[in-house]
Amino acid sequence: MRLTPKSATLLALVVLIALAPVFFPSGFYYRVGALIFVNALAVTGIVILTGWAGQISLGHAGFAGIGAYACALAPVHWGIHPALAILLGAAISAVLAWLVGRPILRLKGYYLAVASLGMGILISMVLNNERWLTRGPDGIDVPELGLRDVLKDAGLSLTNGQFWYFLCGIVLVIGAWLALNLHDSATGRALRALHGSEVAARTVGMDVARLKLQAFVISAVYASVSGSLLALQNKFITPDVAGFMHSVEMVTMAVLGGVGSVAGAIFGAAVLTLLPQVLTVFAEYEQLVLGLVMVLVMIFLREGVVPSILRKIRGSGE
Amino acid sequence: MSELLQFLLSGVTVGAVYALVALGFTIIYNASDVVNFAQGEFVMLGGMITVMAYTAGAPLPLAALAAVVATAAIGVAMNKLAIEPARGAPVVSLVIITIGASIFIRGAAQLVFGKQIHTFPAFSGDDPIRILGATILPQSLWVIAGSVAVFIGLWLFFTRTLLGRAVLATSNNRLAAQLVGINTPFVMTLSFAMSAGIGALSGVLVTPITMTSYDVGLAFALKGFAAAMLGGMGNPKGALVGGFTLGVLEGLTAGYISSQYKDAAAFIVILAVLFFMPQGLFGRKSTDRV
ipTM given for this complex: 0.84
The mean pLDDT of B130-154, rounded to a whole number, is 89
Q: Is residue B15 part of a domain?
A: yes
Instruction: Please provide residue B226's backbone torsions phi and psi, each rounded to the nearest 5 degrees.
Output: -60, -45
If one counts every other C-beta atom within 10 angstroms of the C-beta of residue A196, the result is 11
Q: Return the domain boundaries, chain A.
A: 28-243
Whole-number percent of chain B with pLDDT over 70: 97
- Chosen for mutation from A48, A50, A114, A216 (greatest number of chain B CBs closer than 10 Å) is A114
Chain A contact set for B107 (CB, 8 A): 285-291
Whether B289 has a pLDDT exceeding 70, the answer reads: no
Buried b (16+ CB within 10 A) or exposed e, A101-117: bbbbbbeebbbbbbbbb
Q: What is the CATH number of the domain that holds B112?
A: 1.10.3470
Closest CA to A254 of B93, B103, B221, B90: B93
Q: Report the domain count for chain B.
A: 1
Chain A contact set for B261 (CB, 8 A): 125, 129
Q: What's the confidence (pLDDT) of residue B23?
A: 92
The mean pLDDT of A85-109, rounded to a whole number, is 87
Strand-pair partners of B134: B131
Q: How many residues comprise chain B?
A: 290
Instruction: Please provide residue B282's backbone torsions phi and psi, each rounded to the nearest 5 degrees.
Output: -120, 5
Instruction: Please provide residue B45's backbone torsions phi and psi, each rounded to the nearest 5 degrees.
Output: -60, -40
Instruction: Please provide residue B180's backbone torsions phi and psi, each rounded to the nearest 5 degrees.
Output: -85, 10
Q: What's the confidence (pLDDT) of residue B290?
A: 45
d(CA B281, CA B242): 8
Chain A contact set for B86 (CB, 8 A): 298-299
Range from A88-92, A237-241, B276-280 that averages highest in pLDDT? A88-92
For the segment A251-308, what is each residue's pLDDT rounded down to a tens digit? 888 888 888 888 888 898 988 888 887 777 777 888 888 888 888 888 888 777 888 7
Q: Is residue B211 part of a domain?
A: yes
Q: What's the confidence (pLDDT) of residue B286?
A: 54
Burial of A203 (0-12, 13-18, 19+ CB in 10 A): exposed
Q: How far is A34 from chain B (nearest CA, A)?
A: 27
Q: Do B104 and A199 touch (CB under 8 A)?
A: no
Instruction: Please provide residue A204's backbone torsions phi and psi, each rounded to the nearest 5 degrees.
Output: -85, 15
Q: Do A288 and B99 touch (CB under 8 A)?
A: no
Q: Is residue B226 part of a domain?
A: yes
d(CA A152, CA B117): 52
User: Which helix (H) or strand (E) covers residue B188, if one does?
Assistant: helix B184-210
d(CA A43, CA A23): 25
Strand-pair partners of A141: A236
Domain membership of residue B239 as a residue range: 2-276
Contact partners, residue B86, CB within 8 Å, separation at least 6: A298, A299, B93, B94, B97
If one counts every other C-beta atom within 10 angstroms of the C-beta of residue B124, the result is 12
Q: Is residue B221 part of a domain?
A: yes
Q: Is residue B281 part of a domain?
A: no
